[in-house]
Amino acid sequence: MQGKDRDLKDRIQLWILSVICFVFVLIANWSVKDLVVVGEERIERLTAEQQGLIFALWHGKMLLPMYYLRQRGYYTLASLSKAGECISWVLNKLGWQIMRGSNLKGSKTKGSVRSLIRLIKVLRRGETVAITPDGPRGPRHQLSPGVLYLAQKSEAVVVPIGVAMAKKKEVGTWDRFNIPYPFTKGAIYFAPAIEVPTELSKAEREAKKEEVEEAILAADKKAEALLN
């Protein structure tokens, strides 16, 4: 009986935390007075061609895109942890489709493999998947090994997304999570898509990894330039 009471208490606490996070996401985005978005026409063109897309942005920059890209039926990933449960609830409320159990870090657990297979099928249908390739725990600004594998197997293209805020708070977490100050200006930049060949040597894979990492960093700089 005590175990059931504890489980119920944990579920209630998790629900309360999820609601608080959801309200925080709404307020943080509503407080941005001017959001500049550039490059979205590239996405519309690729989507019209039924091209599978992998949106790639850094974990610490997810706050604005997760709201801006709401209610579009896009897919994303979440871990099976309690934190993953919380973010899944928030994203679900924002109209995202959530796949649990995969973090693209190369895990071979049944849940991770199953989620990866589902992602490949979704992308082959021409859907869009958004990922934070340095999440869920870092290292910061380093591409997960599964990202290129996912692009190769699904023949999807990688679209780097840059995010910037004129005034922000960087939280003291591993990803230096960005929170905009009220009434500041924000920017989102969709960079040109990057194709990933289905066959890559070890050296080519490392070069492509660096190319994608540098492209996301460059997209962030493009977004920062839009604030001026």
Domain spans in the chain, listed from the N-terminal domain onward:
2-225
pLDDT at residue 72 tops 60: yes
- What integer pLDDT is reported at residue 136 of this predicted model? 81
- Inter-residue contact 136 to 58 (CB < 8 Å): no
- Inter-residue contact 63 to 188 (CB < 8 Å): no
- What integer pLDDT is reported at residue 69 of this predicted model? 98
In angstroms, the Cα distances linking 119 to 6, 14, 46, 49, 89 are 34, 27, 18, 19, 19
- Percent of the chain at pLDDT > 90 equals 79
pLDDT interval class at 51 (50, 70, 90): very high
- Residue closest to 165 by CA, chosen among 68, 35, 54: 35
Query: What φ, ψ does residue 188 adopt, rounded to 5°?
Result: -130, 130
Select the more confidently predicted residue: 180 or 101: 180
Report the CATH number of the 2-225 domain: 3.40.1130.10
Q: What is the mean pLDDT of residues 135-160?
A: 92
At 25, list the tokens.
């996401």
